[in-house]
Structure 1
Amino acid sequence: MLRVLLSPRMLAFHALVALIVPSFAWLGFWQLDRWEDESAKVALQEANMAAAPVPAERLTAPGEDLSADEQWRRVTVTGHYTPEHELLVRNRDGSRGVGLHVLTPLVTEGGTALLVNRGWIEQPPTAKTRPDVPPPPDGQVAVTGRLRFSETEESTGIRVRDGLPKGQIMIVDVDRIAANLPYPVYGGYAELTDQRPEGTDQPEQVPPPEPNTGMNLSYAVQWWIFTAIAIGGWVFLMRREIADARSNDESAPPEAAAGTPSGDGAGGPDRESPRSGARL
């Protein structure tokens, strides 16, 4: 058995299994960790969206980044829209395909603005065509919206490019937008969920995100299945090699097994049969 299991071919196979099995097991636990992280994010997201709305100034402030624990929280703010500073965010999905998000600052009585994503509109026929944007309600408006992080190229995977039509942007980079506005701007921005008065023919509201923990749990299970297959294949091959070696030993001639030289007779080539009458 040791002769078979310690043969050069089997030693190479042992080394391969010793490398594969811990690697596959580690990949499974890595995917499990990712699934747990995504599940925690989804749980926080659902809890924040279900929480009662609070005034925006309790969760964010001008020039400050939004806390990771506060994303998706609903906030309320009262003020007036400034459509002269309105921006259109390109390449955003809606119910009828790719279009634009309408981002309008809402200035509070204290003079601080919150960027409000009022919703989705259809893409115009050409990039240079001015889209038909529904105007926001006039006068004082009470807005409720979900807080979102300021966007970056890294967080969105969208590359910012120059040469866009006036008033259009690729990502909602709050700091860059605030630098071109005449009033301070809260950190983060809000996706509109409700406003009073509602206004007429408003953009299509951005729907809440669907809970998604990804495929990481299934990937973890797959890696562990691969680990079990590798171990099972290793055991199967060892058993087969041992069985083949035993079968070869049992089927070998006794003379070969004993190491006796073979010839035409038991006594060798010079030994004559007693029936011949020759001397032995």
Structure 2
Amino acid sequence: MTGYRFLLSGKWLGFFLLACAAAVVSVYLGGWQMDRNDHLVGENAKITQNYRAEPLTGPEAAEQFADHDGSLTWHPVRLTGRYLPEHQVLVRNRPQDGRVGYEVLVPFRTQDGQVVVLDRGWIPTGAAANGMPDEVPAPPSGEVTVTARLQPGEPAVDRGAPAGQIASVDLGELRERWDLPVGTEAYGEVFAEDPAPAVAPAPAPEPEINSGPHLSYSLQWYAFAALFFVAYGYAARQQARNDEWDRQYAEEMERRLSRFYDEDGTYIGEGDEELVVRQMEMADDMPAHLKSLMRPKPQRKRSRPTWEDEEDALLDALERERTAAGRD
């Protein structure tokens, strides 16, 4: 391990700490992507289990709007009561099928007297330059039985809206706007009304089950965390090899210089000293990949003698026999 003592230098300790910091960041990002994947898996499970489930009815259904159980998102509920169309508002900037439009929100009073928020569906932006819808289908009058899917309320958006419109399904803002005791934990996306109106907004499309790229992203970040240490180890290995090559090059240059200078530094070569000095300077100025030519070539270990070795041994044996015969 003497060839790796450089790892204790400040430079290489800094590299190691940098690799540790990069790995920590990668692990954090991998965990963040894994959390997003877990959330998406949970949402997909809710859609699969709840979307076509048997609707909740009665007080159990109405209570979900004031005290929503998150595991019941997308679950259908069936309510009977009356719409309050005078409080109708439009949620602006809602895309569907490649077009921008509005969602129609209307409060609904159940037979038990509770008031809930229902999203009757989507309508497109009209042809007028002001961006308003051409027509908003009116809700059925009188007693109506509606079937809707539960959705949690949306956060407030710091963005204004014209009169009669709202920027998001902020249930707290709707409660204040309408001055009605509406439930502020959930609202319902209507997909059936009985009696059915002649014209109704388009119901919300069925959500897609999408796994997303979060799991693969997470695994990539974890792989990056390991690769930082692999890269550090590879760089350390290359540094150790380069140091060994430099040592071998220095020994080879020292051996060559000993052929031209004695221990006192006196030139003992046969040729022109200036030419020898120039050759040494040229060798020292060579790029690193060419300096490898000056290193002594390592001797390859042989498991058995080659045919040249066997021939030399045979010739040596014959020479010894000839010498012995001459003596006799």
TM-score normalised per structure 1: 0.80
- Could you tell me which of 10, 16, 28 is aligned with 1:14? 16
Contact 1:62/1:184 (<8 A) preserved: no
Residue number in structure 1 paired with 2:165: 168
Measure how far apart 1:190 and its partner are. Answer: 0.8
Looking at secondary structure, tell me which structure has more helix per residue.
Answer: 2
- Could you tell me which of 236, 239, 247 is aligned with 2:237? 239
Letter in 1 for 2:229: I
- Could you tell me which of 208, 226, 229 is aligned with 1:228? 226
Residue number in structure 2 paired with 1:3: 5
Give SS of 2:6's match.
Answer: helix
Measure how far apart 1:209 and its partner are. Answer: 2.5
> Within 5 A, what are the aligned runs for 1:97-176?
97-124=99-126, 125-127=128-130, 129=132, 131-153=134-156, 158-161=157-160, 164-165=162-163, 167-176=164-173
Give SS of 1:132's match.
Answer: coil
- Note closer, same or farther for the CA distance 1:272–1:220 as it changes in structure 2 (3 Å cut): closer
- Note closer, same or farther for the CA distance 1:195–1:237 as it changes in structure 2 (3 Å cut): same
What 5-or-longer segments of structure 1 have no aligned partner? 274-280
Q: Once structures 1 and 2 are overlaid, which stretch shifts more, 193-202 or 4-13?
A: 4-13
Partners of 1:249 and 1:139 in 2: how far apart? 97
- Note closer, same or farther for the CA distance 1:96–1:251 as it changes in structure 2 (3 Å cut): closer
- Could you tell me which of 25, 29, 32 is aligned with 1:30? 32
Contact 2:65/2:187 (<8 A) preserved: no
Measure how far apart 1:232 and its partner are. Answer: 1.9
Measure how far apart 1:77 and its partner are. Answer: 0.7
Letter in 2 for 1:99: G
Residue number in structure 1 paired with 2:264: 268
Q: Once structures 1 and 2 are overlaid, which stretch shifts more, 83-92 or 209-218?
A: 209-218
Give SS of 2:26's match.
Answer: helix
Give SS of 2:18's match.
Answer: helix
Partners of 1:95 and 1:82 in 2: how far apart? 29
Q: Once structures 1 and 2 are overlaid, which stretch shifts more, 31-40 or 243-252?
A: 31-40
Contact 1:89/1:172 (<8 A) preserved: yes
Letter in 1 for 2:103: H
Q: Percent identity?
A: 30
Measure how far apart 1:183 and its partner are. Answer: 5.5
Give SS of 2:63's match.
Answer: coil
Measure how far apart 1:56 and its partner are. Answer: 5.5
- Note closer, same or farther for the CA distance 1:267–1:134 as it changes in structure 2 (3 Å cut): closer
Partners of 1:63 and 1:54 in 2: how far apart? 12
Query: Rg bigger for which structure?
Result: 2
Alpha-carbon displacement from aligned partner over 1:137-196 (angstroms, at most 9, x marks no partner): 23332211011222222xxxx32426x12x222222333323454764344221011122
- Note closer, same or farther for the CA distance 1:263–1:8 as it changes in structure 2 (3 Å cut): farther
Give SS of 1:252's match.
Answer: helix
Measure how far apart 1:92 and its partner are. Answer: 1.0
Alpha-carbon displacement from aligned partner over 1:1-28 (angstroms, at most 9, x marks no partner): 1333334432322222232223323332
Q: Once structures 1 and 2 are overlaid, which stretch shifts more, 85-94 or 60-69?
A: 60-69
Are residues 1:80 and 2:86 paired?
Answer: no
Alpha-carbon displacement from aligned partner over 1:188-220 (angstroms, at most 9, x marks no partner): 221011122222121111113323454321221
Measure how far apart 1:130 and its partner are. Answer: 6.2
- Note closer, same or farther for the CA distance 1:208–1:266 as it changes in structure 2 (3 Å cut): same
Are residues 1:47 and 2:49 paired?
Answer: yes
Contact 1:60/1:66 (<8 A) preserved: no
Would you say how many aligned residue pairs link Structure 1 and Structure 2?
Answer: 264
Residue number in structure 1 paired with 2:217: 219
Letter in 2 for 1:78: T
Alpha-carbon RMSD across the aligned residues, in angstroms, is: 3.0
Contact 1:144/1:193 (<8 A) preserved: yes
- Note closer, same or farther for the CA distance 1:180–1:249 as it changes in structure 2 (3 Å cut): closer
- Note closer, same or farther for the CA distance 1:137–1:250 as it changes in structure 2 (3 Å cut): same
Partners of 1:204 and 1:71 in 2: how far apart? 20
